[in-house]
Amino acid sequence: MSANAAREQEFLEYVQSGGQVESTDWLPADYRQKLIKFIEMHANSELMGVLPEREWILKAPTLQRKLALTAKVQDEVGHAQLIYRVAEDLGKPRDEMFADLLSGKAKFHNVFHYPTKTWGDVGVIAWLVDAAAIISQKALLKCSYAPYARIMKKICWEESFHILHGRDVVLAMMTGTPEQQELVQEAVNRWWGPLMQFHGNPIAREEDPMYLWRIKSQGNEEARQQFLEGYVPQIWELGLTVPDSNLGRGDDGVWVYSEPDWAELKSVVTGHGPRSQERLDFRRRFLEQEKWVRDSLVAA
């Protein structure tokens, strides 16, 4: 074993036993590369994730809802800023990350490629999409890369407000008129497919490089099971149905469900979702339009 391989092996054993590292520590090249890829996608998702909700700030039904939605958008853009900062320290400049996002080279989460048709979608996104996201994010609190784990504390804390806000929107509609209840049911029907794809294919965690390096601390299927266990009962108790006749909890506590559409997931995250290009165009326009603000701040 070469000296470098031995050092890498020692690093691997260290992170696998729960050890954490800092930006100033020696990091294996593969670890650094995987970290950047993972963190960059997370940052991109926070940045792109505000767009489906931003569209509804002006259309929200009450002033309070507008304010709450604005606060949430601010939180998420703030998360993107914190996460991009962590990725920058690992060696990838922010301009390069923006360029890769806009050219389609870097990805963002599947759920942010879809339209927000009605106010029911806003509620379901804030409640269930954020719930799915917080399950992944909580698993990052133990990330082997400590600077990332530390900012996740703040991010998870703010996300818990987002879920409650979403649940409140849904409950207001479910205690409202039949038309309002129907809006929620239609939104659940639209979002169920993307939600089931959200945590990714059920690759065994031992084969997942992100788990191997302890960048994340759970496998994809564990995350999906946690989501089903936590939220399906909450959906059902409101009298809503889930559009999957195979869905159920086995006697062993493991949820069974229809195979998610992995081809759709792949197509959507590679920029072929119903709103992928429109949202990237929006980012391109604003990045260009507001270049003078960034330039004047740096020149100050």
Partner 1 sequence: MIFEVFRQEKKGQAFAHAGSIEAPDAAFADAWAREQYGRRGESAALWLVPRDAVHQVNDWADEFDLKYRRVDGYSIKGRLKEARERASSTAPVDR
Complex with partner 1: residue 31 or 148, whichever CB lies closer: 148
CA distance 176 to 120: 12
| CB 101, CB 283: distance < 8 Å | yes
CA distance 215 to 123: 31
Minimum CB distance to partner 1, residue 25 (Å): 8
Complex with partner 1: residue 141 or 203, whichever CB lies closer: 141
Minimum CB distance to partner 1, residue 21 (Å): 11
Minimum CB distance to partner 1, residue 152 (Å): 10
From residue 64, give the alpha-carbon distance in Å to each of 7, 155, 165. Answer: 55, 23, 11
Complex with partner 1: residue 143 or 184, whichever CB lies closer: 143
Complex with partner 1: residue 75 or 130, whichever CB lies closer: 75
Residue 71 CB-density burial (10 A; 0-12 exposed, 13-18 middle, 19+ buried): middle
Complex with partner 1: residue 63 or 297, whichever CB lies closer: 297
Complex with partner 1: residue 91 or 233, whichever CB lies closer: 91
CA distance 119 to 93: 37
Complex with partner 1: residue 26 or 262, whichever CB lies closer: 26
**Any idea which residue has 């059920």 for tokens?**
202
Binding site for partner 1 (CB under 8 A): 24, 78, 81-82, 85-86, 88-89, 147, 150-151, 154, 157, 297-298, 300
Minimum CB distance to partner 1, residue 57 (Å): 18
Q: How many CA atoms lie within 13 A of 113 on its CB side?
A: 23
Minimum CB distance to partner 1, residue 138 (Å): 18
Q: How far out from the chain centre does Cα 208 lie?
A: 18
Minimum CB distance to partner 1, residue 94 (Å): 8
Minimum CB distance to partner 1, residue 299 (Å): 8
CA distance 65 to 46: 20
Say how many residues make up the chain. 300
Complex with partner 1: residue 94 or 249, whichever CB lies closer: 94
Minimum CB distance to partner 1, residue 154 (Å): 7
Count of CB atoms within 10 A of residue 39's CB? 27
Q: Which H helix or E strand runs over 165? A: helix 146-174
- Quote helix, strand, coil % in the chain, to nearest 5: 70, 0, 30
Q: How many CA atoms lie within 13 A of 70 on its CB side?
A: 10
